Structure formats: structure tokens, C-alpha cells
Amino acid sequence: MRAFFVAFDSSLEPKRLAARRRRLRELLGPGAVELQTIAVGKDHKAVITRIAMEARAAPVIALDDRNGLPGDAPWLTELTREVIDLAPARRPRVVYVTSRAAGTGQLQASEHPIVSNWVKRDNRGMWVKAVAEAVLEIVRQIKATASASGAPALTHVPEIVGTSACFRHALEDLDELMHLPYGLVTGEPGVGKMFLIRALWRQIGGSARPIILPCGSFFKDYYVAGSRRRFGGGRGAVDELTPYLNEADKGLLVLHHVEELPMAVQEEIAVRLPSSAAGPGAAGRLVGVDREGLLERDVKLLATSRFPPEMLEQTGRVVPELALKLRGRHVRIPSLAERGREDTEQLCQDMVRQIAMRRGMAAPPRVAPEVVRALGQASWPNNISDLLRVLEHAVGRCRGGTIGMEHLPKGLYARSTAPQTLKEVVARAQRTAIENALDQTGGRVAEAAKMLGVPTGSLYRTMRRLGMKPG
């Protein structure tokens, strides 16, 4: 379980604040609650967005010595506005710490939609214990609620491989999301969005299979050649959605690559989606009218995309009404690079076993330690998809026995053996971000700079340094 610590305004010296934070980590217990610090800069809006996206259903310790009451804090008003449309069980739970609180000790704030407690801060550090107790109580309540809802333990999903903190947190968030009427799952190409959805749905939906709507291929007739934008689709496109809703009744409908849906269909779905969840396990009642009359179906709906919700909205790929609803229920699956070398090594071992089983091999080949290290250090633009293709190639070449470095593709071997400096890693990340932004804006540098949050001139200079040509 995660908890977040953010100091919006503190009269404590930085060293004393750091010492209090270390003490708080000790009281929360190693391995029980992972405390993450969110740094506050000049732009509070970015901090609010991060809390709203990452701290759902998690404790947030907010230190503010400037504003004494929750209603007086501008950041709390903004945060409440961001998360108020979420189901109560999905909202962050704030433990408000301030030196300006009236009275002493721990004060209850149960009337506030997201403030669970507030604690008066003293100068002796006694407040740290009260905060730790409040956080642990929130964690106990969250676990008790999850247990009462009957949600399966994620450790009982054997096909899901990975132990990194960021992956397990994303998996927990996805499990919670799938118990709500609708949501959005994003991530880079090949991170396993559909695989994870299917695996978790088998635990929730039993024998009922999820219905997948491939948005980019099904509505080909409604595309305009050579144009990035889908023009309408009209009543006919909306009617084409009806068979999928019929088939997914009492089950799960996945809009795979939701940004490829015609605008008319997006608008129809946005109107039909309920504004809030009815509770854990609830489905959304999609109500509308098609050519056969009134249509009502109880359907859980998940949309997937490789783009974050902010980009979907800014670039007009998803209509604002639908983007706003999906943004409030969003889970991002981390990339293989974010998951780290340990997860990559675990995936290598598991994939080799699966490949050997499919090929009818008596025993899976052994993977040499140097190969495991090389694959853990390699770059994977398409994440798990790329890793799987490389291992398929290596198993085929080694013909049983041991997979050695000579069985890897030559290009991969060269990249994995050449150490990368920090400068090279940063340059590669900058190039990828700029290429994605230019792709979304049709090569228009000014719009790409606005999307990336940098001045246009700065972006031009960065592109020249990276050897990238505008347009």
C-alpha cells in the first residue's frame, strides 16, 4: 500500500522536515506502507494533477502551515474539484497537518469529502505519531473494504509476472478500476494492457469472455483517406455499436484504441455513461435509442489507448465529454524500462517456458546469466512485444540446451553490450517525447512545444542538438 507526503507550506527547516519524514517512514513500518514524497515547486497545479492521478484510494499526508482550516487552502479546493466525481472509495484520503489548527491533538474531519483527519503540528515532533496512526487506520479501512467486496487477491493470478513496485501498484489500481462501471487504461505500445485486462477479468467475470471492439479496424468505412480526423460516422456508425452492447450485456466491453472511434460514436457513449459509480462490482447502464427503439444494457466498459488522457483531450482525438469522464478513472501501465531489470529477467524466464511449451519441447532451454543481464539492460521500444519476439528468435536458434549471447539478434547484442551514459539515456528520452508530440501535431513545432510545456525556441534548440529536422 502506498501513502504520499507533500509539504505545500512548512515553517520547519528543511533538515528538521526531512528528519520528521524519516521518522514517519519508520512508524509506518518497512514493507507495510510505502511512503512517497511529492515535491512542490512553483506550479501547484502539476502537484494537484499528480495527486489526483496517483493517490486514488490512498492516504495523502498534506502539510500546510499557512492555511489553518481545510476550507481555506486553495490547493485542497482544487484537489477536491479534481476528484469529486470519483466514487468515494476511489478518492485520495487526506491527513491534513497544520500548525494553525484550533485546539490540540488529532481532530476529525469526517464531514469533508476527502479530508479524513487533521492533525495539529507541534515543534517537538509529537505530531508524527498521530499522523502515522491516522494513516495506518486509513490503510486498515481500505483493506477491510477490499476484503468485503470479494475482490480476488492479485497474487492468485499466476499468469501475471512482475514484482516491481510501480507494476504492482498499477495492477492494484487496474483491479479496482475493473470493479467500477467504466474506466481508461493507457500505456506505451506492447506493455500488456489487453493481457492484463483479460487476466483480471477471468478472476472477476468467471467464464464470461470480454467483448473486444477494435476501434481502428471496425469503422474503416467512416475514415477519410489521408486525414487524421474521423468525420462523424453518423447514425449508421452508432447503430453498428448495438451488436457489441448486446453481446457484452452483463459483461465487459473493451474499446481498444478508443481514440480511433468515430466522433459520433464517442458522443453517443459519453451521453450514455453514468456520471458516477454505483459501488464496487456495479456495471454502467448504457441507455440510448437505436433504429430498433430503446436500448438498455448493463455493461462494464473499459477504454484503452497508448496516449494519456490529457493528450487525448488536447489533440481532439476524444470528444471532451468522454475524455473528462475517462480521465477521472484512469490507470497507466508502466513501460518495461520503468519496471526495471528484475521484472525483465522474470519475464524472460517465464516467456522461455511458455515458448518451449508451445513448441512441444521436452524441457525449456536454459538462459545463460549473461543473456539475462543483457536483456535486462536492452532498450525495448515496443516493450514486452519486442522482448517476446527476441526470445522466440533465440529459442529457435539455440535448438534446446542453453541460450547464449550468440543466439540473440546481432543488433540487440551490440546495443546491450555497449554501456549507456546518463547523457545518452536523457537524449533518447527527449527524442522519443519530441517525436511523439510532432506526430500528434502533424509536424507543427509550435503546437508540439505547447504540448510538451516548453517555449518554442527552446524546442527548436533541443531538436538541433539532437540532430532532428523540423517538419
pTM here is 0.59
* Same-domain pairing of 197 and 105: no
Q: Given a cut of 60, is residue 102 above it in pLDDT?
A: no
Specify burial of residue 82 (Cβ count, 10 A radius: 0-12, 13-18, 19+): buried
pLDDT of residue 192: 92
* Same-domain pairing of 35 and 132: yes
Coil, strand or helix at 179 = coil
Within a domain: residue 33?
yes
Within a domain: residue 471?
no
pLDDT of residue 155: 42
The distance of Cα 46 from the centroid of its chain, to the nearest Å, equals: 16
Which tens digits make up the pLDDT trace of 251-298?
A: 899 999 999 888 878 887 887 776 444 444 445 555 544 455 545 677
Within a domain: residue 232?
yes
pLDDT of residue 408: 86
Q: What is the CATH number of the domain that holds 169?
A: 3.40.50.300
* Same-domain pairing of 288 and 215: yes
Q: What is the CATH number of the domain that holds 399?
A: 1.10.8.60
Angle at CA 190, nearest 5°, toward 187 and 191? 50
Which tens digits make up the pLDDT trace of 386-429?
A: 899 999 989 888 877 788 888 888 766 545 444 557 776 787 77
Provide the CB-side half-sphere exposure for 248 (13 A, CA).
Answer: 25
Residue 163: other Cβ atoms inside 10 A: 11
- Higher-scoring residue by pLDDT: 6, 166: 6
* Same-domain pairing of 303 and 410: no
Which tens digits make up the pLDDT trace of 21-44?
A: 889 988 887 667 888 888 887 767
Runs of H (alpha helix) within 299-404: 309-314, 320-327, 336-358, 369-377, 383-398
Are 55 and 93 in contact by the 8 Å Cβ rule? The answer is no
**How many domains does one find in the chain?**
4
Q: Given a cut of 80, is residue 56 above it in pLDDT?
A: no
* Same-domain pairing of 296 and 385: no
Name the domain boundary from 316, 332, 348: 332
- Higher-scoring residue by pLDDT: 325, 206: 325
pLDDT of residue 222: 43
Q: What is the domain range of residue 396? A: 336-417
* Same-domain pairing of 109 and 55: yes
pLDDT of residue 224: 45
* pLDDT confidence tier of residue 118, bands split at 50, 70 and 90: confident
* Same-domain pairing of 404 and 430: no
* Same-domain pairing of 108 and 135: yes
CA 290 to CA 198: how far, in whole Å?
A: 29
Taking alpha carbons only, the member of 110, 29, 112, 14 closest to residue 63 is: 14
pLDDT of residue 197: 93
Specify burial of residue 442 (Cβ count, 10 A radius: 0-12, 13-18, 19+): exposed
Task: Provide the percentage of residues in the chain whose pLDDT is more than 70.
Answer: 79
Q: Give mean pLDDT, residues 448-456.
A: 88
Angle at CA 300, nearest 5°, toward 298 and 301? 120
* Same-domain pairing of 73 and 120: yes
* pLDDT confidence tier of residue 144, bands split at 50, 70 and 90: confident
Look at phi and psi of residue 265 and say left if phi exceeds 0, alpha if psi is from -120 to 50, else beta: alpha
Q: What is the CATH number of the domain that holds 69?
A: 3.40.50.2300
pLDDT of residue 418: 47
* pLDDT confidence tier of residue 368, bands split at 50, 70 and 90: confident
Q: Give mean pLDDT, residues 67-94.
A: 77
Name the domain boundary from 148, 168, 190: 148
Q: Which of 292-296, 343-347, 372-376 is the least confident region? A: 292-296
Within a domain: residue 359?
yes
CA 399 to CA 151: how far, in whole Å?
A: 43
**Alpha carbon distances (Å) from 278 to 85, 179, 206, 284, 325:** 12, 10, 21, 8, 15
Within a domain: residue 183?
yes
Strand bridging mode 402-403 / 366-367: parallel
Residue 424: other Cβ atoms inside 10 A: 11
- Which residues pair with residue 64 across a beta bridge? 9
Within a domain: residue 290?
yes
* Same-domain pairing of 439 and 456: yes
Within a domain: residue 46?
yes
The distance of Cα 398 from the centroid of its chain, to the nearest Å, equals: 37
Q: What is the CATH number of the domain that holds 436?
A: 1.10.10
Which tens digits make up the pLDDT trace of 179-189?
A: 888 899 999 99
* Same-domain pairing of 282 and 172: yes
Within a domain: residue 470?
no
* Same-domain pairing of 273 and 384: no
Name the domain boundary from 126, 148, 170: 148
